Structure 1
Amino acid sequence: MPSAPPKPPDPDDDHSRIDLGLWAKERHLHGHRYPHALHALDATAAALVLWDVVLSAGLKRRIAAGLGTDEDHARALVAFWAGCHDIGKLIREFQEQIDLDLSAYPAYPHPGDRAGHASVTHQWLVTALETLGYEDEDGYIAHLVAQLLGGHHGIYPEALDEYTTPRFESDVWQEQRERSTRLVHEAAGAPKPPVRFQAPVAPLICGLVILADWLVSQEHFLLDRLRTPPADGGHTALLAHFRASTGKIVDLVREAGLRRLTVAPASFAESFPGFTPNGLQSSLAHHLPGLCSEGGLVLITAPPGEGKTEAALHVADLLGEATGHDGRFLALPTMATADQMYGRLKEYANRRSEVGSPLTLLHSMAWLNPDYAPTDREPARADDLAPTSWLMKAKRGLLASWATGTIDQALMAVLPSRHNAVRMFGLAGKVVIVDEVHATDPYMQILLERLLHWLGVYRVPVVLLSATLHHSVANSLVKSYVTGSKGRVKKSAPPFVEKIHYPGWLHVHPDSGEVTTNPEPFETTKRDPLKVDLVPIPVKDRRPDRERVLRDLLSPLVTEGGCAAVICTTVAEAQQTRDLLAAWFAELEDPPELFLLHARFPQDQRTRITAELTRRLGKEGARKGDRPVRAVVVATQVIEQSLDLDLDLLVTDLAPVGLLLQRAGRCWRHEHLEIITRPSWATEPRMAVLVPQEQQSKRHVPRSWQYVYTPSLLMRTHTLLARRDGAHVRIPEDIQSLVDGLYDDPTLIEDVTADIERMGEELALRTHGRNAVIPASGGIYGDLSPLTTADFEIGEHFLATRFGADSVRVLCCYRDARGDLWLDEGLTRRLPATDSEGRMSGDDLRAVISRTIPLRADRNTRPPLAEGNRVPEGWERNFHLHDLVLLVHPVGDGTTGEALLGDRRLYLHPDNGLEERA
């Protein structure tokens, strides 16, 4: 057992007084300096308030368990440690950055004078904590505490040993550091050292310390506290400051939007009034409460349109209630699907929440969402969920109690990047829901597996949703979670998921790893079998020729009405298809409405198109009479995920069978609701799959399709569907066998070389993923530095959540005859300027960013850019603008020319979006 800490010093003893001239903060304080001792006490108070007000019950229990103690002791420990985070500022090198009388302090260099203050915190605390009783074997706990505090700027310093730990002189500097440490120790309640410290809990504590520091470093708080400074540096005056700060920090937490958003226990019917639960939802609501007392992982697999989202929200409520995790994070595959989920989650939270608290939307373009506007006032009602300006700043969104966003926001927690502890801390008090888990490639799957491992370590309940998930992928995800929650899994252990019961669900116990599947079959939404036709098309010069086939397939629609979609593999092919249909429809007296949706529209235009399609072709459009009489939607893969569209006919390029089934979820999506009148030609759900005329031959698969999908999977899918000889696909009965069969059936191999290439590519992606992620929890014993080995870069490789998805954002603008730049082709709005610090008005900035377009990166987009593609002077100082690439279109004589980007010629077409021209 460690020895008891020394008796606290007498507060009236001059030898314990602290020099309030030694500072910690001065930037933006109008010439004032904020004393180090006050900042240390503020951070201590903030940690206590955060523990009491912000941390969920489940997160408190996990931290306490990791420290081998009870929650009260753990609360005091993390508060004490938070108060020590800036102790490294008490060195001459830091203090003499401003004009300060340091004549009473030695001028000779100390070990810390050659390192940043965070590193000094680490170096000094390793030995200093011994004076407070941290005397465990090998100094393990002291080293771990010191290292996590040394990482409060987001990067953990390298671990120290007996040879690299510096020795600090016993002088006046040392006295001030010791006095400050004892002061915050006393303020925190003089906690005894922990007898145990599990290293994986350190990032959670580090995240809490960083949050405490951020809160009490706000200029308005510091200036307010300087209005009533302590009378002197004695403990009595300083502890009075500490008590006064505590009340003000409660206000800071509320203003920041960090209050917990909680929901009361409720049945499914109470959670969704007026909504009759289907078989899947009823099964979960009935059976899961008896299984999830310890939380765990729930995997739900069901066809599109089966109400998985509603089921997941109810399951999250059950898991959260059982484990004390009141937060929520819903992870979606794309920004568009995250935007849609934000509206649905906001509606749910409005209906269910007991108190008002911000709900955040997390992706790079979230701030452009007109429904996602910040507020800086305290929520007055439970239905007031607007985010605060504080939460909308970088890296803070996951600190909100409830959030939704792209899966990337969660995956960044397992990249060895700066402040990943803040992201992990933000996730650790929540129930995490991951939708469309099948949408991850082998690289992203490794990242997701590592995330699930760490969520298992922290006993975070998880819900996974999928419509088309291979059983081996499901097993890998479950195994990763259990490896974290149990600590280890024997390599010889049988698979957790040998077979997926589709549709169905399974629950995984976090301690035993026991897997329970839905105990009995349940009824599913009755669906007519899907007719799948393989429709051969000519491939000329390795390019698909769709024109004749599309005229044949769409002629009944043109004559009698109805709604159809044509899904193309690439943006360029979608644009060409839209053009040929537009030319045909122009010949007609009563043409169908024609829509185009892909990723290369300006952001605001894509948002408008998506909203209109969802409004008119979705459930509400049918009920309100907004459904088009006849319409054709041409799109890329962006249409296949989480969009509420109901189509009479679906035409699609060949793609891996799982994606085809996802797309099929838009065909007769709401037939069971009987709200849509089908045209006479649409007698059954039908998906026409366009395939090369020359069957089962790699060399005839269009080259463009091979850039997007692995050729062997296209050939396997073609063969798999051809063998069915036109048999209808029963939904849900046939889904899982098709998804599993694509990979598992060796007789589908039509090109051995292509299959070997695919397996090699998948292996390479997994290897890249393993090289990118942070270690598993067992890999950080006694050393946290592997968790932040890079700040998004390792050598020349950019750490990313999506491999090979390098892109840039381009801004199309227009140059008149005088050389002036305009934001619009009509030359009505000039390209906005920034001030000397790179600032731009909110309206101008939103106008610029809303017109940006993602474009694949290549040698033409790498610095240094051609002069004509560089942003205007001043923009490079703005975070949102500095990395944009300009595409300047010359305007004159009533015509608009193409923009040049190196050897690429591009043109922003009003109907087609950004075209790349030969």
Structure 2
Amino acid sequence: MTAVPPDTPSYFDLRLWAKERGLHGQRYPYVCHALDSVAAALEIWDACLPQGLRHRISTGLGVAEPHARSLIAFWAGCHDTGKLVRHFQEQVPTDLAAYPTEPGEQKGHALVTAEWLTTALPKLGYTDDEYVAALVAQLLGGHHGVYPAPLDEFRDPFTGFGFAQGLWEEQRERAMLLAHELSGAPAPPSRLETPAAALICGLVILADWLVSQEHFILEQLRTPPADGSRASLRGHYERSRAALPALVTSAGLGPLTVSPATFTESFPNLTTPNGLQESLARHLPKLCTEGGLVLITAPPGEGKTEAALHTSDLLGKATGRDGRFVALPTMATADHMHTRLREYATRRATTSAPLALLHSMAWLNPDYAPAPPPPGTSTVLSGTRENSGSGAVRSAFDITEWLLGNKRGLLASWSVGTIDQALMAALPSRHNAVRMFGLAGKVVVIDEVHSVDPYMQTLLERLLHWLGAFGTPVVLLSATVHHSTANALVEAYLQGSRGRKRRRSEPRPVPSIQYPGWLHVHPGTGAVSANPEPVPTTERRPLTVDLAPVPLDGGRADRAAVLHEQLAPLVEEGGCAAVICTTVAEAQATRDLLAEWFAKVDAAGGRAPELHLLHARFPQEQRTAITDQIITRFGKEGAEQGKRPESAVVVATQVIEQSLDLDVDLLVTDLAPVGLLLQRAGRCWRHEHLGTVARPPWSRGPRMAVLVPAEEDSAKHLPRSWGFVYPPSLLMRTHNLLRRRASAPVRVPEDVQTLVDDLHDDETLIEDVAIDIRRLGEEMALRAHGRNAVIPTVKQLGDDLHPLTAVDFELGEHFLATRFGADSVRVLCCYEDRWGRRWLDSEQTRPLPEPGPRGRVEHEDLRAVISRTIPLRADHHTQPPLAEANRVPESWAEEFHLRDLVMLVHGVADDGTVTPARLGERALFLSTVNGLEEAKEK
């Protein structure tokens, strides 16, 4: 370096810039952005990072927490050093005549950062363990979401990367040294564990995102440093430090915390905890002092959600993890849980912060993400809901605009979402570090763990492995989990937390599952502690399971006679029933069948039952409305407030079998694997213990009628659609299992675990060996796909972060999918009049929106379009190039949410008659009562 004194005005060249986009022609000096990043990292550590996460990172560095804080701030200040090269600076006109041309090739600035730091960090003492310098360089090189590959060890440590001594090197070194000084001049760490490196990368990315906001930079430019002296830039740094608390608060990154409380204090609306809840509240605090994993198994309606929330509070307090993430199987269940968690936070929170809802359609929910207020209006947040002046009602738990940005939702202290949001952290996706960082400081709750297929289970196991490595507590919930699944999940977590696989000589961690019950897994010793005494449960009447044979008609189940037989008492005397069909098409046909019957009842002077239909192929806004109505009418609220129908039938697909609070007198369901049948049965007489549900005379106890093949040989008489959705061997095993019971009632909970385990373990249930072997082969293939898709284990990763974001795209994009073979597209049904004008509604009151003056579709128009979209399984007709009629308007090509939609254009005649849309050889029609269906032939 030159001998220029640090306080010389020209010590730092303020012409060298880091930001210019959105700054109205101004450029933001590189060194200012570097010091902003130092300030941001310090503020994040102090104000946002839970104590447990600070401890985990410090342990991974082998230093005390204050030292770790300084190290991360210093590294954050170096993340953009790769911008101090000619080819980056010349992207905007700059006088660089005095700067020499370095011989290096043009590369992305993140990679240049990694390369340069391997040459520069040794000058600050990073020499005892060379891998530490290399790993620091690699994690900072990953701040744009992708870790660079390891650098060539045989390359010259300086000139081999194209760097040269001179003015460029002086500026890079001066900026690094100033960041080092202002962050406390931390000495190099004694080690750097890979999990800690990944978390630090996430923190650096967050710091960079915060101080890269245009409004923050423009505010900083109002009082720019007077010159490039160290004294002037120190003043800039102090101004950044003063501005960061407000910036963090406005982004919504503060912690949402709860105070210690008993179960009764947490849920004052429950008079006393039930047996499961009381057992956890009494025994778990002594076991979970170091966190760990808790598995809770109990029948539907047994209060697992309340038990999980209280368990999360205990684990969070023990491990210093303020955050929460609750993972659900579907968007509908996530929406419902978001409401419940918000109510819980309203009662329990001691500090306020946003509560995020994470799935692809969350932004459509106006209660969660209202439209942005008009320019110039301000929103005041408080503990109570207030009007912002723009018509939007806000509260202390509402999401911020910043957190609604792409990939940011998991950074909220508390969040609810689909399980996919968590599983993405186990895939080598861009910004993997942000997802890991967002989960690591939380207690992670995963509901319905039994519902994952072998592919998703492989992803879940790898996620649990990394959560174990981070010391993140986990709560798993299930009503029907097989013991082999429980063992696989627990072993994955222990492998991460203990750093090694189970030895062959060691017993499996979960020899058996007490049902109902819970178990705790110690993260360090691997000790598994189950509930020490039997858990008393809500008294339930035995479940009557009747097998109702259905004949086949052209390979389809002919339900007409069976439904007439099963539902006749309801039609005559009232009551509520649910009919669950395997596919959407079957649910639509069943609704039509019942509608025709009920119309005849009305015509004969009777009083036909209400008829509801719910499946995934309704427009989003209609499906949400139907779900809300069903929960209100058939759930706890309906029973307590007199909203329950006197007579009604809900026809649905599997969407109602998980996490939805429904109570019916009778359940009629297609054959499915026994665990799912028991899950569905949880909707039958669900709230009997409340004493508020009026039952019809014919309903003397919970009863489930299972539609099964009419012939003894199930293999040859399964409806084709059933075998397409579920493995035929499991359907046959379930049929034989139920048939062997000879209609004996199922005692809940006493018989549940035995039935779930026997489905897979009892070889006497095999009806067709070849089909059973085929299922096992398919499961092995799904697990193999999962193993090829997931990120490595900590041990496999070694000292190289690159595989965490290295995707082999030649293998296919499905390797980044959280659900194998479930590819879908979103279709938009629109209506075209005889003049070729297109409308969102058949009444032709709302035209297809066009971009406004700024070239973008307005927010409310965008919401109106997406809320009308429908998921549809992808096939060759939905892949580019689409037929002309199925393509979105050219003006939508730049709209992220609109450009990949598939249009289903219905014709509208002058008399209002609507004709079906075409998609390849298919004719599809959007019915107001049935949703999107195959057009019926005339």
TM-score by structure 2 length?
A: 0.95
**Given the alignment, which residue of 132, 140, 156 partners 2:131?**
140
Is the 1:255–1:377 Cα contact (8 Å) retained in structure 2?
no
Name the SS of the counterpart of 1:418 in structure 2.
coil
Report the equivalent of 1:525. Answer: 538
1:134-283 → structure 2 map (5 Å cutoff): 134-137=126-129, 139-164=130-155, 166-167=160-161, 168-275=163-270, 276-283=272-279
Report the equivalent of 2:109. Answer: 117
**Given the alignment, which residue of 546, 554, 568 partners 2:581?**
568
CA offsets, 1:307-354, max 9 Å, x none?
Answer: 000000000000000110000000000000000000000000010001
Shift of 1:12: 2.8
Report the equivalent of 1:871. Answer: 888
Query: Are 1:386 and 2:398 matched, yes or no?
Result: yes
Distance (whole Å) between structure 1 residues aligned to residue 380 and residue 348 of structure 2: 19
Is the 1:442–1:765 Cα contact (8 Å) retained in structure 2?
yes
Name the SS of the counterpart of 2:893 in structure 1.
helix
Q: Residue 412 of structure 1 aligns to which amino acid in structure 2?
A: M
Distance (whole Å) between structure 2 residues aligned to residue 565 and residue 886 of structure 1: 33
Distance (whole Å) between structure 2 residues aligned to residue 363 and residue 791 of structure 1: 26
Shift of 1:750: 0.3
Report the equivalent of 1:408. Answer: 420
Q: Residue 873 of structure 1 aligns to which amino acid in structure 2?
A: E
Name the SS of the counterpart of 1:631 in structure 2.
strand
Is the 1:8–1:186 Cα contact (8 Å) retained in structure 2?
no
Distance (whole Å) between structure 1 residues aligned to residue 8 and residue 563 of structure 2: 90
Report the equivalent of 2:387. Answer: none
Is the 2:450–2:480 Cα contact (8 Å) retained in structure 1?
yes
Shift of 1:491: 3.0
Q: Over aligned residues, Cα RMSD in angstroms? A: 1.5
CA offsets, 1:553-608, max 9 Å, x none?
Answer: 11100000000011000000000000010001001131110000000000011011
4+ aligned runs moved over 3 Å, structure 1: 6-11, 374-379, 791-798, 835-838
Is the 2:12–2:171 Cα contact (8 Å) retained in structure 1?
yes
CA offsets, 1:683-704, max 9 Å, x none?
Answer: 1110000001012331210111
**Given the alignment, which residue of 582, 601, 609 partners 2:626?**
609
Report the equivalent of 1:660. Answer: 677
Shift of 1:906: 0.4
Shift of 1:378: 5.8
Shift of 1:239: 1.1
Shift of 1:64: 0.1
Gaps of 5+ in 2: 373-377, 385-394
**Given the alignment, which residue of 459, 463, 468 partners 1:456?**
468
Is the 2:9–2:227 Cα contact (8 Å) retained in structure 1?
no
Query: Are 1:916 and 2:919 matched, yes or no?
Result: no
CA offsets, 1:338-387, max 9 Å, x none?
Answer: 00000000000010001211000000000111320258746322762000
1:462-481 → structure 2 map (5 Å cutoff): 462-481=474-493
Distance (whole Å) between structure 1 residues aligned to residue 860 and residue 217 of structure 2: 31
Distance (whole Å) between structure 2 residues aligned to residue 725 and residue 797 of structure 1: 44
Is the 2:877–2:919 Cα contact (8 Å) retained in structure 1?
yes
Shift of 1:835: 3.8
Q: Residue 110 of structure 1 aligns to which amino acid in structure 2?
A: P
Distance (whole Å) between structure 1 residues aligned to residue 884 and residue 16 of structure 2: 49
Is the 2:126–2:132 Cα contact (8 Å) retained in structure 1?
yes
**Given the alignment, which residue of 503, 520, 530 partners 1:507?**
520
Q: Which moved more, 1:208-217 or 1:696-705?
A: 696-705
1:247-396 → structure 2 map (5 Å cutoff): 247-275=242-270, 276-373=272-369, 377=379, 379-381=381-383, 384-396=396-408
Q: Residue 912 of structure 1 aligns to which amino acid in structure 2?
A: N
Name the SS of the counterpart of 2:601 in structure 1.
coil
Is the 1:698–1:711 Cα contact (8 Å) retained in structure 2?
yes
Shift of 1:843: 1.4
Report the equivalent of 1:418. Answer: 430
Distance (whole Å) between structure 1 residues aligned to residue 451 and residue 2 of structure 2: 59
CA offsets, 1:19-76, max 9 Å, x none?
Answer: 1110000001000000000000000100000000000000000000000000000000
1:884-895 → structure 2 map (5 Å cutoff): 884-892=901-909, 893-895=911-913
Shift of 1:249: 1.2
Is the 2:40–2:241 Cα contact (8 Å) retained in structure 1?
yes
Report the equivalent of 2:71. Answer: 77
Report the equivalent of 2:389. Answer: none
Shift of 1:8: 13
Gaps of 5+ in 1: 1-5
Distance (whole Å) between structure 1 residues aligned to residue 194 and residue 707 of structure 2: 54
Shift of 1:120: 0.3
Report the equivalent of 2:409. Answer: 397
Report the equivalent of 2:388. Answer: none
Distance (whole Å) between structure 1 residues aligned to residue 382 and residue 334 of structure 2: 26
Is the 1:416–1:791 Cα contact (8 Å) retained in structure 2?
no
Distance (whole Å) between structure 2 residues aligned to residue 754 and residue 680 of structure 1: 44
1:4-83 → structure 2 map (5 Å cutoff): 11-12=6-7, 17-83=11-77
Distance (whole Å) between structure 1 residues aligned to residue 75 and residue 725 of structure 2: 50
CA offsets, 1:653-680, max 9 Å, x none?
Answer: 0000000000000000001111111111
Distance (whole Å) between structure 2 residues aligned to residue 894 and residue 228 of structure 1: 63
Distance (whole Å) between structure 2 residues aligned to residue 7 and residue 501 of structure 1: 72
Query: Are 1:832 and 2:823 matched, yes or no?
Result: no
Is the 2:8–2:228 Cα contact (8 Å) retained in structure 1?
no
Shift of 1:259: 0.4
Shift of 1:792: 7.6
Q: Residue 115 of structure 2 aligns to which amino acid in structure 1?
A: Q
Q: Residue 106 of structure 2 aligns to which amino acid in structure 1?
A: R
Distance (whole Å) between structure 2 residues aligned to residue 313 and residue 792 of structure 1: 40
Is the 1:835–1:874 Cα contact (8 Å) retained in structure 2?
no
Is the 1:837–1:874 Cα contact (8 Å) retained in structure 2?
no
Distance (whole Å) between structure 2 residues aligned to residue 840 and residue 8 of structure 1: 56
Report the equivalent of 1:555. Answer: 568
CA offsets, 1:839-894, max 9 Å, x none?
Answer: 11121111111100000000000001111000112212111111100000001033
Shift of 1:284: 0.2
CA offsets, 1:376-424, max 9 Å, x none?
Answer: 7463227620000100111000000000000000000111010011011
Report the equivalent of 2:375. Answer: none
**Given the alignment, which residue of 707, 712, 716 partners 1:699?**
716
Report the equivalent of 1:127. Answer: 119
Distance (whole Å) between structure 1 residues aligned to residue 684 and residue 485 of structure 2: 26
Distance (whole Å) between structure 2 residues aligned to residue 313 and residue 729 of structure 1: 29
Distance (whole Å) between structure 1 residues aligned to residue 805 and residue 640 of structure 2: 52
Query: Are 1:903 and 2:921 matched, yes or no?
Result: yes
Identity %: 66
Report the equivalent of 1:747. Answer: 764
Shift of 1:110: 2.9
Q: Residue 451 of structure 1 aligns to which amino acid in structure 2?
A: L
Name the SS of the counterpart of 2:294 in structure 1.
strand
1:841-860 → structure 2 map (5 Å cutoff): 841-860=858-877
Distance (whole Å) between structure 1 residues aligned to residue 475 and residue 329 of structure 2: 15
User: Structure 1 539/838 Cα, relative in aligned 2: closer, same or farther at 3 Å?
Assistant: farther
Distance (whole Å) between structure 1 residues aligned to residue 3 and residue 883 of structure 2: 66
Name the SS of the counterpart of 2:36 in structure 1.
helix
Distance (whole Å) between structure 2 residues aligned to residue 874 and residue 74 of structure 1: 50
Name the SS of the counterpart of 1:64 in structure 2.
helix
Distance (whole Å) between structure 2 residues aligned to residue 685 and residue 263 of structure 1: 39
Is the 1:418–1:791 Cα contact (8 Å) retained in structure 2?
no
Is the 1:43–1:216 Cα contact (8 Å) retained in structure 2?
yes
**Given the alignment, which residue of 636, 654, 658 partners 1:619?**
636
Report the equivalent of 1:3. Answer: none
Name the SS of the counterpart of 1:586 in structure 2.
helix
Shift of 1:7: 15
